[in-house]
Structure 1
Amino acid sequence: MPELTPRKIKAKQTRKKILEAALSLFSEKSFDETTVDEIVKLSGTSKGAFYTHFKSKYEIFLEKFKEIDAFYLEFTHTLPKEASASEKLLHFSESQMVFLRDSWGKGLFRTLYTNASPSHNYFLDKDRVLFKIVKEFVHEGQEAGEFKRELSDEEITAIITRCMRGTLYDWCMSGDEFDLLMEIQKVMRALLEGLKK
């Protein structure tokens, strides 16, 4: 891998400063109320630097989604190969919730949910790593005779990911009494029980 030049290192640092400042403001004020000028001011950069690294404020969320997807991929490598598809899906959903709760927090995730739109909604992008991982586990379960085949692997993937999003949404809209990990365990266990042959 080629060594980073001082200019590339500085560009990376600038991008990180902008990203961190924007996410801090989104959590504090909300996405809509945050301006690019405020992001630039807090990050100690310029408007030119902002638009060099991001086309819009929403692209900052896309960066975070890449971070989430990288975590998902990494986590799948820690799952025992001999685990059943149900076990993999349950452990995957548990780790997903813990990661999002601890890395993003409720405020930032609420901001993300309220600012998703049909024109740029990463939540529903079927090319995301999340969908591919869940579909792979579902397919595995169907091939092993663990899951029913009345629905396709794609249909089951849509249902599972919808349950994940719904649990996250409820968490965002609930008070501190909502236990994200406990709730996803209840949802996934009921769902997986229904899928079994």
Structure 2
Amino acid sequence: MTKGKRQLKAEITKQRIFQTALELFQKKGFNQVTVDEIVKKSNSSKGAFYGHFNSKYDIFLEKFKEIDSFYESFVQTIPEDLPFKEKILILFHGQMKYLEEELGKDLMRCVYTSGLIEIEENFFANTNRGIYKIITRYIEVAKEQGEFVQELDANKITIFITRCMRGTLYDWLVFGKEFQLQQESRLFFKHFY
């Protein structure tokens, strides 16, 4: 087998493990799924699992990388000359639409549950993620253009905004079918920012 074929086979195995794990997390919850179960259901080996992931939590980190890739490409569609509030509204709406339509409520519930696990590097709190950098950049530009007169630094404002984003997602998971994620997110930022 050539190196290219070996790499392709490894990538297929990684994706199979990844998708199987996400499906199991959705069905059973993160804490109820073991690496052994993921390995068995994905028809792979423990060696293959640990060759691609250090732990089952790494699977969520992989999913967050996909989400951050979405943010990086989506932000390219937002005109730079818009006022800060409009840019944030577009970003917030795009985020909620993506999470609702592409990831879905079950996976997001699982992501939020796993985010409560105390670990050394919690992805929700990682301010090096793309979403934090995008919002911080928007705030810095808005401050330079006089849109912001607040004394708080850009990083602290970013923390507050992302907290509101997470809170809106959490409410979507808690309040059930009557909570319309995209509509509620627009209303929230329109009226409270």
Name the TM-score class by shorter chain: over 0.9
Q: Deviations over 1:60-111 (max 9, x none)?
A: 0000000000000001111112211111111001000111111211111111
User: What is the match of residue 91 of structure 2?
Assistant: 92
1:5 pairs with 2:24: no
Query: Would you say the 8 A contact 1:18–1:39 is kept in 2?
Result: yes
In 2, distance between residues paired with 1:77 and 1:154? 21
User: What is the match of residue 150 of structure 2?
Assistant: 149
Query: Would you say the 8 A contact 1:22–1:60 is kept in 2?
Result: yes
In 1, distance between residues paired with 2:142 and 2:118? 32
Deviates more, 1:147-156 or 1:127-136: 147-156
Partner amino acid for 1:35? Answer: T
User: What is the match of residue 115 of structure 1?
Assistant: 114
In 1, distance between residues paired with 2:149 and 2:72? 26
How many pairs were matched up? Answer: 190
In 2, distance between residues paired with 1:36 and 1:97? 31
In 1, distance between residues paired with 2:94 and 2:149? 25
Q: Deviations over 1:102-130 (max 9, x none)?
A: 12111111112122234231011111111
User: What is the match of residue 25 of structure 2?
Assistant: 26
Q: Deviations over 1:126-155 (max 9, x none)?
A: 111110001111111111112222222112
In 1, distance between residues paired with 2:162 and 2:144? 20
In 1, distance between residues paired with 2:154 and 2:35? 42
User: What is the match of residue 77 of structure 1?
Assistant: 76
Higher helix proportion (structure 1 or 2): 2
TM-score, normalising length from structure 1? 0.91
TM-score, normalising length from structure 2? 0.93
User: What is the match of residue 104 of structure 2?
Assistant: 105
User: What is the match of residue 126 of structure 2?
Assistant: 125
Structure 2: runs of 5+ lacking an equivalent: none
In 2, distance between residues paired with 1:37 and 1:7? 24
Q: What is the aligned-residue RMSD (CA, Å)?
A: 1.5
